[in-house]
Structure 1
Amino acid sequence: VNSAWSVAPAMDLVEKANAYEITAELPGIDEKNIEIKLANNVLTIKGEKNEEKEEKEKDYYLSERRYGSFQRSFQLPEGVDADKIDASFAKGVLTVKLPKTAEARKAEKKITVKAA
């Protein structure tokens, strides 16, 4: 049974106080098969899955292969410190942190809501 893994994984982009964070669930992928590139303010995440399973029994032989690749690109939000982008991969979840520049952090101003 050959089944292609063609569905792009779900990715979330969340804005936090001092950084943006992209998370992606990538079960069955090895960190060495993940590639992250930054060019012209666009962050591209590529991944490749190559999974093989073989079972040999007296009466039957089963070979399963799952393979495929995905690519997702994100336009970097304004005020990201590109030199400090950091990526980590743990338990099948990729986390890419996009720290905000000092100016971008200062630009946020809290507005007090007063009772009318």
Structure 2
Amino acid sequence: MNDTTSVPTRKAASPTPIRNASPFGAPMDWLRSEIDQLFENFGQPGQSIFNFGRQGGSMPVPAVELVEDEKGYKLTAELPGLTEQDIEVSVAGDVLTITGEKKEDSKREEKGVLISERRYGSFHRQVPLPPDVDQEAITAEFKDGVLNVVLGKDQNVAARSRKIEIGKG
């Protein structure tokens, strides 16, 4: 599952107006509103209450938070149930890629019946990097299910930019 969307926050959806009030009152009105939203948002990542993105062995794409300070940026992704061996962080061009895969097998015997369960899932998240990131100053740390990626700023970005004079044609 690939996601190359930008990181900034999305605008909260406005509540769906209830067209025909139910004779059963507020609970049915709420349910109708939720079903209307389901169909209006069908196919949009992260919008479905049923999370259709999990089909086909894929894990949900993790949400990331990108925070800027004077020294650089800090990207945080919550990846519960994964270990640092399950995750790969790479950078190519101006895109940071976070990839993860989890394989889980369990076998147990209950009352003479062998029960074997397998769960597999993977995700692939791409984040466009701000133009002032120093790619040599990127570090990553994983602890307690949280991935922290520190992106240092390149102090020479301002020196590389220049104003271009416009000539008369």
- Tell me the TM-score normalised to structure 2 length: 0.54
Aligned-pair RMSD on alpha carbons? Answer: 2.1
Structure with higher RCO (Cα < 8 A, 6+ apart) = 1
Structure 2: tracts of 5 or more residues without a match: 1-55, 158-169
Letter in 2 for 1:11: V
- Which stretches in structure 1 are left out of the alignment for 5+ residues? 105-116
| Partners of 2:133 and 2:122 in 1: CA distance | 27
Match of 1:55 in 2: 108
Question: What is the alpha-carbon distance in structure 2 between the residues aligned to residue 64 and residue 35 of structure 1?
Answer: 26
Structure 1: which amino acid aligns with 2:87?
Answer: I
* Other-structure match for 2:93: 40
The total of aligned residue pairs comes to 103
Q: CA deviation at 1:64?
A: 2.4
Q: Which residue of 63, 67, 70 maps to 1:17?
A: 70
Look at both structures and tell me which one has the larger radius of gyration over its CA atoms.
2
More strand by share: 1
Whether the 8 Å contact between 2:94 and 2:131 is mirrored in structure 1 is no
The alpha carbon displacement at 1:101 in A equals 2.2
Q: Give how far 1:91 is off.
A: 0.6
| Matched residue SS, 1:8 | coil
Question: Normalized against structure 1, the TM-score is what?
Answer: 0.76
Q: Of 81, 84, 99, which residue of structure 2 is paired with 1:31?
A: 84
